[in-house]
Amino acid sequence: MAKQKTTSTKDKLSTKSVITWCPGCPNHMILEAAKRVFAKLIDEKKVKQEDIAIVTGIGCHAKIFDYINTSGFYGLHGRVVPTALGIKLGNPNLTVVGFEGDGDAYAEGMEHFVHAGRFNANITLIVHDNQAFALTTGQATPTTQQGYKNKVEPSGQHNLPINPVKIALASGASFVARTYALNLEHMTKTIEAAIKHKGFSYVEVIQPCLQFNKEMDEIRKLTYEIPDNKDDMDKAMKIASEWDYNTKTGKIPIGIIYQIEKPTLEDNWQQLSELMKKKVGWKRK
Amino acid sequence: MRLNILIGGQAGQGINAVSGIVSAVLCSQGYFTFNYRDYPSLIRGGHNFNILSISEEKIGSHESKLDGIVAMDDKTVEIHKKELGKGGVVIDFKGFEALGRNLNIALAGALIRVLGIEKQVLIEAVKKQFNTPEALDAAEKGFNSQNKKFELKKLDNRLSIMTGSAAVAQGAINSGINLYLGYPMTPSTPLLQELAGQQEKYGFMVFQPENEIAVINAGLGASFAGAKVMVGSSGGGFDLMTEAMSLQGQSEVPLVVYLASRPGPGTGLPTSTSQSDLNLALRAGHGEFPRIVVAPGDPIEAIEKTNEAFYLSEKFGCLSIILSDKHLAEGEFSFATQPNKPIKVEVKRKVPGEAIVKASSYEHDEAGNTVETAEITKKNADNRIKKYQQIKKEVSKFEMIKIHGNPKSKNLLVGWGSTKGAILDAIRGLDYKFLQVLYMKPLSNEIKKELQGANKVILIENNLTGQLGRLIREKTGISIKNKILKYDGRPFLSDELKKEILKIK
């Protein structure tokens, strides 16, 4: 019996581009989660497909740009946050979601990352943190563990990694969450909550790189789900401090680490509030 | 008749208020003024001065010999007395110490008296700007302290005063700007502040992100989403933007960039002037992609050319760079003419919210998805060149060059941007033709004909290496041998420039 063919919303979110990530790369899972969330939001009529705009940096993560059928800006390495903020300035009614690598977000783009919470534009930033520059063949990023040997540092990485979650908390992000790329269900629900949050939402996705930083794959058994934390900053800092991005023992909490309501960029600027009220961008004003 | 009055004092004493009141009074009396501002990079103390040049005819520069000094401190007379001509007047701050911060108004009043203008005109101007009993009292005291030395009778000219920065703002507003992004850096800051002050009135938005890299990437994001966007900076701030200018070339998202030059390299002289960033504007960004570089020479041109920059950038999805400098950005010009009627700038392209639209920094297919094939790489590159041909055609509808002075003269001066005022003032009454280049890219084909038709050609630029001269040589094969170049961080003074021009036989 022939199967009846219907086009689901998720199918409509696919493109014809050939996926060129390594076989088994957790980026496939992040793509799946993003498409599931977008499809759900569209099906629930929370957003129209043409109202979604994605932004990517440069690196393995950024290939996601070609695989999702929404509007988008394949930007520069490290500049996802200002590009996404700019799209919001151009039309505050768009749902803007940035995908960025750990090299992008925490090395080249740290100067933007720490300001995103201050402006608190209603945008979402999803960082694919595989603790390595993968597309340039495995150099260390700011979250790479000490001792990691690579072609640039044959004797191993000397520095301790930064903790981006603590940086996000300290710099005023109004939604901070961590998830794990191989836990599809958790990742999907976290990304959905991030997009639904009003303000700057940051989702740190721990994502093993099976090609280069293989040793960090050991941490997959360490993750555990925490109940959502709201606006308790001390507790959030404690949760964020449970794992230092360096050790391969102990526990790695995943879930919503911090969430607070505060005025957004769009609330603070009358010009943007008016565009939102009229449900238009500058073009149709 | 031409007078040059220096107003000097410490930063924070309010010398701009003196030149402001006097310019406003002179403007209402039909006199053309040009106000030059000279100040070091500090907020309080030091030595700042303005030179207010006054004439019955249109002027766009100041001169080296002074007819008067208004001194707000001891240092001013000490530093500038050698520039004072025979019979020059000194108006001193001594005697007005009791007026405190209204000293500047008293000195403005004194200068108005020296110029031989009625007291009532002064009182009305002070009322308009300050209107406190103390200010009016200070103006009166200043006026009464002096004797009339000149006799500036009222003329019929109807004049306005504007800085180059205010004019670029006007051009942007005429184009329907939606968003201006900038990060403070002299001399581009005046435009940032000018537009910020007008955003509510005209319903656009001005935003200051964390740095220039954020400025331009956010600018491209906003333009992608359908806004008409301009970003601006100077020197090093512009350097930080260059990677994203290259992104503009690949993504073809319209963008207007304002570059107000100052002397480099490095931090250079932050509050001085220079035309040394022409090469930068022409070449900033890796890869090969079309762009427009336009350099207005006065506020009227700044209004018109800013509008053209918006129009072209939106029509072709290209980068338009408006090249200015400290002298144009902060010089206060008076003029009697009106700019051309603005061209309408319309966003006709599909934007997110209306359709699925992709912009990319990667080589891409028509849908915007990444492609790395040889065929598409070549096709896209060919399209970029084709687009530049179309841009050239469209730009030819606008004034790409201007001819000033005696159009039949065989003596040709070549220059661009803010040197216009000094050049025009220098050649008044001389047998010279001045070719002003407005579009630096694309460059007009007329330039070659003008050079070939002249017997004597002199290049005049406010930089060390004659960057326009090199550009002209690149495009025409003609090398201009005679050069008058000034690169001390100061603009040309028309009388000194005239001497330099006449030296070249």
Q: Please give the pLDDT value at position B241.
A: 98
Which residues of chain A have a CB within 8 Å of the CB of B357?
A: 71
Q: What is the mean pLDDT of residues A155-167?
A: 97
* A12 within some domain: no
Contact (CB<8Å) B205/A87: no
* B186 within some domain: yes
- Average pLDDT over chain B reads 97
Instruction: Give the CATH number, domain containing residue B202.
Output: 3.40.50.970
A231 CA to chain B: closest CA distance, Å? 26
Tell me the helix, strand and coil percentages in chain A, rounded to 5: 40, 15, 45
Residues B465 and B382 in one domain: no
Tens of pLDDT, residue by residue over A183-221, are 999 999 999 999 999 999 999 999 999 999 988 888 888
Phi, psi of A230 (to 5 degrees): -100, -115
Residues B243 and B260 in one domain: yes
Question: Can you tell me the distance from the alpha carbon of A157 to that of B270, in angstroms, rounded to the nearest whole number?
Answer: 41
Q: Please give the pLDDT value at position B6.
A: 97
Tens of pLDDT, residue by residue over B70-116, are 999 999 999 999 999 999 999 999 989 889 889 999 999 999 999 99
Residues B409 and B386 in one domain: no
Q: Please give the pLDDT value at position A4.
A: 63
Residues B115 and B168 in one domain: no
B373 touches chain A (CB under 8 A): no
* B150 within some domain: no
Helix (H) or strand (E) holding B55: strand B45-55
The Cα angle at residue B40 between residues B418 and B281, in degrees rounded to 5? 40
* A272 within some domain: no
Lowest mean pLDDT, pick from A111-115, A213-217, B326-330? A213-217
Has residue A5 got a pLDDT over 70?
no
* Residue A211 identity: Q
Cβ atoms B442, B400 nearer than 8 A: yes
* End-to-end Cα spacing for chain B: 28
Q: Please give the pLDDT value at position B23.
A: 95
Instruction: Give the CATH number, domain containing residue B41.
Output: 3.40.920.10
Cβ atoms B112, B143 nearer than 8 A: yes
Has residue B336 got a pLDDT over 90?
yes
Q: Which residue has the tokens 């993560």?
A: A61
Rounded to an integer, what is the distance from CA A38 to the centroid of its chain? 14
**Longest CA–CA separation in chain A, Å:** 62
Question: Can you tell me the distance from the alpha carbon of B360 to that of A55, in angstroms, rounded to the nearest whole number?
Answer: 10
Tens of pLDDT, residue by residue over B157-173, are 999 999 999 999 999 99
State the residue range of the domain holding A144: 23-262
With the C-alpha atoms ordered B259, B263, B266, B271, is the resulting torsion angle positive or negative? negative
Residues B231 and B357 in one domain: yes
Interface test with A, best of B179, B230, B247, B358 (most A CBs within 10 A): B358
Contact (CB<8Å) B218/A271: no
Task: Name residues whose C-beta falls within 8 Å of residue A102's C-beta, 6 or more positions apart in sequence.
Answer: A127, A128, A129, A130, A131, A132, A141, A142, A143, A164
Q: Please give the pLDDT value at position A2.
A: 57
SS3 state of residue B41? coil
What b/e string do you get for B400-439 counting C-beta neighbours within 10 Å, with b at 16 or more?
Answer: bbeebbeeebebbbbbbbbbbbbbbbbbeeeebbbbbbbb
Domain count, chain A: 1
Has residue B496 got a pLDDT over 70?
yes
Q: Please give the pLDDT value at position B41.
A: 86
Question: Can you tell me the distance from the alpha carbon of A59 to that of A80, in angstroms, rounded to the nearest whole number?
Answer: 12
* B452 within some domain: yes
Question: Can you tell me the distance from the alpha carbon of A147 to that of B503, in angstroms, rounded to the nearest whole number?
Answer: 71
- For residue B442, whether the previous peptide bond is cis, meaning omega lies within 30 degrees of 0, is yes
State the residue range of the domain holding B422: 401-503
CB-closest option in B178, B181, B243 to A282: B178
> Where does the pLDDT of residue A3 fall: very low under 50, low under 70, confident under 90, or very high at 90 and above?
low
For residue A26, give the nearest of A186, A249, A200 by alpha carbon: A186
Has residue B224 got a pLDDT over 90?
yes
Cβ atoms A68, A19 nearer than 8 A: no
Q: Please give the pLDDT value at position B93.
A: 94
* B248 within some domain: yes
Rounded to an integer, what is the distance from CA A266 to the centroid of its chain? 21
For residue B404, give the nearest of B443, B370, B450 by alpha carbon: B450
Question: 0.95 exceeded by the pTM?
Answer: yes
Cα dist. B301→B34, B60, B192, B305, B463 in Å? 16, 13, 19, 6, 21
- Helices B103-115 and B133-144, interaxial angle, to 10°? 40
Residue A72: strand pairing partners: A54, B358
Question: Can you tell me the distance from the alpha carbon of B172 to that of B191, in angstroms, rounded to the nearest whole number?
Answer: 10
Instruction: Give the CATH number, domain containing residue B499.
Output: 3.40.50.920
Question: Can you tell me the distance from the alpha carbon of B414 to that of B403, in angstroms, rounded to the nearest whole number?
Answer: 10
**Longest CA–CA separation in chain B, Å:** 81
Closest CA in chain A for residue B243: A76
Which residues of chain B have a CB within 8 Å of the CB of A17?
A: 369-370
C-beta atoms surrounding B211 within 10 Å:
17
Report ipTM for this prediction: 0.97
- Helices B164-174 and B299-316, interaxial angle, to 10°? 40
Which residues of chain B have a CB within 8 Å of the CB of A112?
A: 210, 213-214
B365 touches chain A (CB under 8 A): no
Q: What is the mean pLDDT of residues B336-342?
A: 95
Q: Please give the pLDDT value at position B318.
A: 98
Closest CA in chain B for residue A115: B210
Residues B364 and B461 in one domain: no
* B204 within some domain: yes
Instruction: Give the CATH number, domain containing residue A139.
Output: 3.40.50.970
Residues B107 and B172 in one domain: no
* B154 within some domain: no
Size of interface A-B (CB pairs under 8 A): 166
Which residues of chain B have a CB within 8 Å of the CB of A111?
A: 210-211, 213-214
> Where does the pLDDT of residue B437 fall: very low under 50, low under 70, confident under 90, or very high at 90 and above?
very high
> Where does the pLDDT of residue A82 fall: very low under 50, low under 70, confident under 90, or very high at 90 and above?
very high
Decide which of B359, B378, B395 is a domain's last residue.
B395
Residues B223 and B253 in one domain: yes
Domain count, chain B: 3
